[in-house]
Structure 1
Amino acid sequence: MIINGLCADYGSRFCPCILAVTGGCVVCSQVNGKAFCDCKASGGICIKQELLRNGGKANPGRLTYECEVISVIHYDGLVFLRVKVPISLEREVKRPGGFVFVRRKDAASWYDVPISVQFEEMMVGSIGMTLLFRGVKTNQFKDLAEGDTLLLRGPFNNGLLGLQHLEAQQSSRCLILTKGIGLLPSVSAVRYLQSRHNETELYVDEGNFSPSILKFQLDLFELPFKPLTLLDDDGELSTPAKHVIRRFVADGGSLIHVGASEYVIHQVAAYLHYIGNRHVKLSACNNARMCCGEGVCGACTETTADKRVIHHCKEQVKIK
């Protein structure tokens, strides 16, 4: 599933970052201490050269913005809010997979919560997000009201994997499979695909989620959907799900987006391989292990079979 990862920040204003300074760059082998260049970057930017030009220092990182809450909807254990943000930040998180870290103004920095941006108003300077109350960090938002101030750190743009496949879709047929909380970060993907005149077919598995919460989200964004159980009692891809995928492939579909756990993503990828798929691309949610967003804390790392360490919060890995 993971091949040739490329840093989501490569060539951006955040590159080179602190990983390049400390010898843990995702892309550049030479700043990591190797004698020869064997990077797979294709953007024409040499991170080692940029680091030398910076005097061995990283570029400035993400900023933290004080933002006013301009709209709040509380509903059954969640809150949907719109927050006024600088237009520059709104522009940078409008891409599918965009997210920010959020906390109350009076909370310590370790109370940051990574939240997907579901909605943005171009040239108005506001973004929409859904916060679920699931523990100490998210419970700080239970009494949130209009006029309150939140601290937003960002922008981050690696909330979805397979972005290169998703952004390539134009006037195509796309299938979206979501389960439980995976619906929330998938909203931006569905809206993006629809904005590019793609035909989208959305299937939702409630999982352990409240049906009313899912209906609230689907109604809020006016997303038509069909119910579908993705896994059977043995934890395998269900027969109805296989039928939906096989029909989609046979009918010339172009992209499948999976908004679910890593296990479900692997199940869908394996089934596509089993039926001999050669043309349908995959994209998927990437929020299962998001922690610091900078590749520093190590909470999202994974060691591959070839002993390579993947930073899931930084690397835009391909899915096959």
Structure 2
Amino acid sequence: MIKEKVDCIDCGTEYCPCKLAESGECILCSQLHGECFCDCLNWKGVCVYQEYFNNGMKAKEGRKAITCKVIEVNTFDSGASMIKFIAPHKLALDLVKPGSYIFIRTDENYFFDIPISIMESDIENNIITVVIEIRGIKTKKLRGINLYDEIVIRGPYWNGVFGLENIANQKGKNCLVFARGIGMAPMMPVIRKLITNKNEVDVYVDCNPFKENFAKEYIEKYGIFPKETNLLHNGKLSDEGRFIIDHSIKDKNIEFIHLAGADILTHGVIEYLNELNRNDIKLSCCNNFKMCCGEGICGACTARFAGHKVKRFCKVQEDPRSIFEGRRFI
């Protein structure tokens, strides 16, 4: 049994208290759940109930839609597009941290808003870079974006990665990064944070389903030369992936692994670490739950767990191992 540490990504920010507080569904505050005593799940130095009271017993104003100008568009043969646009300086600052993402409005109808992880936020030039895999109705609308067009975005959001505390705690250590497919984009802020904290980082990428590693030049800016490999085989962690983990543990004494890919990759690595009895290795991973509103209201990101627990993963920040323990898959 893993001791669960629940956190709310928005607690203590300018967007707290949110609409969940108004409806008695605050993730952390017991009093906003109707209890008569204070029993916060995770004290973060700020009283959510006090903030709610000071704000006139209502939620604070949420994220706003912002119009930005596109300055570069690159389309890859494998069905992905890289878009760079100029954003306000404060937004660029807010989107630097690992797990940052935004909603891009691909149509006048706000139902076409689509969540996209940040690949890079250049705070000196206020340029945001995102990579989008063209798959469905919403992303296909982005094919029509041209140079110097305007796009509407909504943000910032920060819960695109689970295990943020584990990332922040890595200082002067050996770290391993696995990335597959479109996960190569959101891994970049994680690598930036690890390098800033003076860690040694080994990066292994599985480009599938893409033909090229679109993140290669961004990784090499940090003096890291990614190695291409196959990380999944028949829905399981591949032999290559197992060998890399074994080698990294024995020869490099890694203490942290970041997994930038689908849940099947994260689950496979967790199972293999369990086989090795290495639960001491810290993890972080991509948040692959479906996002729709980003505010915990619509329920698209919810998952059911043992004990009839329902968690809103657009806001709930947890350790990757806790995401799969006790989760109901039906």
TM-score (norm 2): 0.89
CA distance in 2, matches of 1:139, 1:71: 18
Q: Secondary structure at the match of 2:186?
A: helix
Matches within 5 A, 1:36-55: 36-55=37-56
Q: 1:2 to 1:96 in 2, by over 3 A?
A: farther
Q: Is the contact made by 1:133 and 1:139 (CA closer than 8 Å) also made in structure 2?
A: yes
Equivalent residue for 1:306? 307
Equivalent residue for 2:138? 137
Q: Following TM superposition, by how much is the alpha carbon of 1:88 offset from its aligned partner in structure 2, in angstroms?
A: 0.5
Matches within 5 A, 1:191-202: 191-202=192-203
Q: Is the contact made by 2:113 and 2:138 (CA closer than 8 Å) also made in structure 1?
A: yes
Give CA deviations for 1:243-285 in whole Å, capped at 9, x if unaligned.
2112222332121001122222122122222212253210000
Q: 1:278 to 1:78 in 2, by over 3 A?
A: closer
Query: What is the alpha-carbon root mean square deviation over aligned residues?
Result: 1.9
Q: Is the contact made by 2:118 and 2:185 (CA closer than 8 Å) also made in structure 1?
A: no
**Does 188-197 or 68-77 show the bigger shift?**
188-197
Q: Secondary structure at the match of 1:266?
A: helix
CA distance in 1, matches of 2:129, 2:290: 22
Give CA deviations for 1:276-305 in whole Å, capped at 9, x if unaligned.
225321000013422221111101101221
Q: 1:147 to 1:2 in 2, by over 3 A?
A: farther
- How many pairs does the alignment contain? 315
Asked if residue 258 in structure 1 is aligned to residue 259 in structure 2, the reply is: yes
CA distance in 1, matches of 2:303, 2:21: 19
Equivalent residue for 1:92? 94
Q: Secondary structure at the match of 2:155?
A: strand
CA distance in 2, matches of 1:303, 1:263: 18
CA distance in 1, matches of 2:146, 2:225: 30
Q: Is the contact made by 2:263 and 2:288 (CA closer than 8 Å) also made in structure 1?
A: no
Q: Is the contact made by 2:174 and 2:199 (CA closer than 8 Å) also made in structure 1?
A: yes
Equivalent residue for 2:68? 67
Equivalent residue for 1:281? 282
Aligned partner letter, 2:97: R
**Does 294-303 or 304-313 show the bigger shift?**
304-313
CA distance in 2, matches of 1:8, 1:66: 25
Equivalent residue for 1:26? 27
Aligned partner letter, 2:239: T
Q: Is the contact made by 1:179 and 1:260 (CA closer than 8 Å) also made in structure 2?
A: yes
TM-score (norm 1): 0.92
Equivalent residue for 1:241? 241
Equivalent residue for 1:271? 272
Equivalent residue for 1:78? 80
Equivalent residue for 2:326? none
CA distance in 2, matches of 1:232, 1:66: 42
**Does 111-120 or 264-273 show the bigger shift?**
264-273
% of aligned pairs identical?
35
Matches within 5 A, 1:112-123: 112-123=113-124
Give CA deviations for 1:150-178 in whole Å, capped at 9, x if unaligned.
11100001100101111222232111112
Q: Following TM superposition, by how much is the alpha carbon of 1:239 offset from its aligned partner in structure 2, in angstroms?
A: 2.6
Q: Is the contact made by 1:186 and 1:259 (CA closer than 8 Å) also made in structure 2?
A: yes
CA distance in 1, matches of 2:136, 2:3: 31
Unaligned runs of 5+ in 2: 322-330
Q: Is the contact made by 2:161 and 2:284 (CA closer than 8 Å) also made in structure 1?
A: yes
Unaligned runs of 5+ in 1: none
Q: 1:220 to 1:123 in 2, by over 3 A?
A: closer
CA distance in 2, matches of 1:264, 1:38: 36
Q: Following TM superposition, by how much is the alpha carbon of 1:187 offset from its aligned partner in structure 2, in angstroms?
A: 2.2
Q: Secondary structure at the match of 1:296?
A: coil
CA distance in 2, matches of 1:169, 1:65: 34
Q: Following TM superposition, by how much is the alpha carbon of 1:220 offset from its aligned partner in structure 2, in angstroms?
A: 5.2
Aligned partner letter, 2:126: G
Give CA deviations for 1:32-59 in whole Å, capped at 9, x if unaligned.
1233333222212221222122221001
Equivalent residue for 1:149? 150
